[in-house]
Amino acid sequence: MRTVIVYESMYGNTRAIAEAIAGGLGPEHQTVVVPVAQARPELLDGAGLVVAGGPTHVHGLSRASTRHAAAEAAGQPGSGLTLDPGANGPGLRDWFEGLDRADTAAAAFDTRLEGPAMVTGRASKAIARMLRHHGFSLAADPESFLVTKANRLRDGEEDRARAWGRQLASRAAEKVAAG
């Protein structure tokens, strides 16, 4: 099955999770992992599963202003933050605006700070809502992967992402078999 993973990443955490999910999907999935800036709508043609993920900014999905603020934070001396390639480009909101309706299985994920979702917010809920709005059927509940206050993935999150990828592969296979 062809799978497309589209991610938005500011500091590399969401990219690392996207790559770990791809690893969990396994070799039977012809998986393409692509930053949102390079995710043309035609890339989804023929995909049996689409996975979309991004960082949580100000309790939800990023906006141009929050991406700009994140880029400025990385530019501060001593921040220890490095911008991911494509971080200054469009975000997932922009990508969704250019999508047509699709009848494909999908899943949503985010990266967010450790802590209760009520406090930190969850971009994955908005991503899932946008996927459904565009006709995708969710193969799994939205998932969050945690980063520390130092903006590094929490230990074990990439392993958890690989396990989630294995779950997605199983659920997608079930949907295809059910027709």
Per-residue pLDDT tens over the stretch 33-43: 999 999 998 99
Interatomic CA distance for residues 132 and 129, integer angstroms = 5
pLDDT digits over 129-157, tens only?
999 999 999 999 999 999 998 899 999 99
What is the residue extent of each domain of the chain? 2-178
pLDDT of residue 58: 87
Under-70 pLDDT residues of the chain: 175-179
pLDDT of residue 177: 66
Q: How many CA atoms lie within 13 A of 26 on its CB side?
A: 11
> What string of DSSP letters covers 89-146?
S--HHHHHHT------EEEEEEEEESS-HHHHB-HHHHHHHHHHHTT-EESS--EEEE
pLDDT of residue 133: 96
* CATH level 2 (architecture), domain 2-178: 3-Layer(aba) Sandwich (3.40)
Closest CA to 94 of 18, 48, 41: 41
